[in-house]
Amino acid sequence: MIIDITEIEAIHSFFRLESLKEVYGLIWMLVPIFILVLGITLGVLVIVWLEREISAGIQQRIGPEYAGPLGILQALADGTKLLFKENLLPSRGDTRLFSIGPSIAVISILLSYSIIPFSYRFILADLSIGVFLWIAVSSLAPVGLLMSGYGSNNKYSFLGGLRAAAQSISYEIPLTLCVLSISLLSNSLSTVDIVETQSKYGFWGWNLWRQPIGFIIFLISSLAECERLPFDLPEAEEELVAGYQTEYSGIKFGLFYVASYLNLLVSSLFVTVLYLGGWNLSIPNLFGLEFFDINKRGKVFVTIIGIFITLAKTYLFLFISIATRWTLPRLRMDQLLNLGWKFLLPISLGNLLLTTSFQLLSL
């Protein structure tokens, strides 16, 4: 049997070409993920700085001002300090649960960013069940908090974990019913389709005007899901010292705060996507009934301007949540559960039935 050398060289070159394609494919798959994680990290740093500045303004005191210009590097300095602190483990606790809990809380929230459309065709994964994936994944975060509280072998920590689980169950149901109403109006569970459906009708087609009751319920439920005041019962420094994070130190302690701000940012982004038209900016013309629609412009212009519009709407909601934290007092646990089960659940269910009836009548 005679083997041609040129055939062997062709086979080798083919396999080299296939390996290069795989490498390039892996790189192009990791680049968007890296950009998304980098943008999320910068967004969290901005939120921490804004919260300190806004809280200082509300309380009439001086906020961060020494770490960098205007104190913008204060959050980075705090994170670096926690990174080099010693990680302590409870002697009688469950070490595995104690270590895995913060990671589950952070990773479950990070996965939610993959389905958020920041602008026109600027999304990591446009899934047909996008909003349901967010609800399913975000419901895993309280499991991490419960694991952390149980693994700490501390009564305060365990009570904080139980409160986190009870609070998540109580407010996850009204939030899901509000998302169902939005999906019925848009005839889709895709986040991109929900934004594009709102853009068809301009400014008055935003779901904020079509679902005002659902918007208020979603707003309250989002604050409760993020465990922000007046719903920060899982931490409750006066009652539980710090709740599920009492025994934590170092970077694990910092991961809980990262998870809290990541959850706040993703909730604000979903408020923008579901109720405020996403990247679309349609402003009524003062001299007529026409709308200024950025979707009529070029694709590059739409992408860049759409990112700024999405972030502007998102940070508007963030300002509301931060101001609420420093304005309202904390609820009691029974008041929190009563609000979720006796008021928000029936109202959100009635809103869903009304939306369903309207959709059936409009067919």
Answer whether 280's CB lies under 8 Å from 293's CB: yes
pLDDT in tens, 261-281: 898 999 999 999 999 888 887
Report the distance separating Cα 153 and Cα 70, nearest Å.
Answer: 41
Strand partners, 77: none
Integer Cα distance of 198 and 169 in angstroms: 30
> Which residues fall within 8 angstroms of residue 239, CB to CB, at 6 or more apart?
none
Q: Which helix (H) or strand (E) segment is 254 a member of?
A: helix 250-275
* Res. 347: pLDDT tops 90: yes
Q: Which residues pair with 284 in a beta bridge?
A: 291
pLDDT digits 0-9 by tens, 58-116: 888 888 888 878 888 888 888 888 888 888 888 787 888 888 888 888 888 888 898 89
* % of the chain residues with pLDDT over 70: 86
Per residue in 188-245, pLDDT tens? 888 988 988 888 777 777 888 889 999 999 999 998 888 887 888 888 777 777 778 8
pLDDT for the residue numbered 44: 87
Mean pLDDT across 317-325: 88
120 CB-side CA count, 13 A: 17
Q: Considering only residues 134 and 27, tell me which one the structure prediction assigns the higher pLDDT.
A: 134
199-219 burial string, b = 16+ CB within 10 Å, else e? beebbebbbbebbeebbebbb
Contact of 93 with 151, CB cutoff 8 Å: yes
Instruction: Give dist(CA 221, CA 321) in Å, integer.
Output: 12
Lowest mean pLDDT across 27-36, 72-81, 246-255: 27-36
φ, ψ of residue 187 in degrees (nearest 5): 55, 35
The predicted structure's pLDDT at residue 289: 44
Amino acid identity at 61? R
Nearest to 277 by CA among 265, 293, 289: 293
Q: What is the pLDDT of residue 345?
A: 93
Mean pLDDT of 2-13: 53
* CA separation for the pair 95, 90 (Å, rounded): 8
What pLDDT digit, counting tens, does each position of 115-162 carry?
898 887 788 888 888 888 888 888 888 888 888 888 888 888 888 888
Are 176 and 217 in contact by the 8 Å Cβ rule? The answer is: no
Q: Parallel, antiparallel, or unpaired: how do β-strands 291-292 and 283-284 relate?
A: antiparallel
Looking at residues 51-58, what average pLDDT do you find? Answer: 88
Can you tell me the mean pLDDT for 306-311? Answer: 88
- CA torsion 278-208-140-81 (nearest 10°) is 60
Spatial separation of the C-alpha atoms in residues 33 and 20, rounded to whole Å: 20
Task: Give the closest residue to 147 by CA, choosing from 155, 157, 136, 137.
Answer: 157
What's the confidence (pLDDT) of residue 270? 93
- Specify whether the CB–CB gap between 314 and 268 falls below 8 A: yes
Which two tokens mark 284?
Answer: 């009524």
pLDDT given at position 328: 85
| Residue among 245, 326, 351 at smallest CA distance from 59 | 326
User: How does residue 250 score in pLDDT terms, banded at 50, 70 and 90?
Assistant: confident
Q: Are 62 and 56 in contact (CB under 8 A)?
A: yes
* Distance spanning both ends of the chain, measured CA to CA: 73
CA distance 307 to 311: 6
C-alpha to C-alpha distance for 233 and 247, rounded to whole angstroms: 17
pTM for the structure as a whole: 0.85
* pLDDT given at position 285: 45
Distance CA 128, CA 301 (A): 26
Q: How confident is the model at residue 178 (pLDDT cuts 50, 70, 90)?
A: very high
Contacts of 140 (CB under 8 A, 6+ apart): 104, 108
- The closest alpha carbon to 178, from 215, 139, 204, belongs to 215
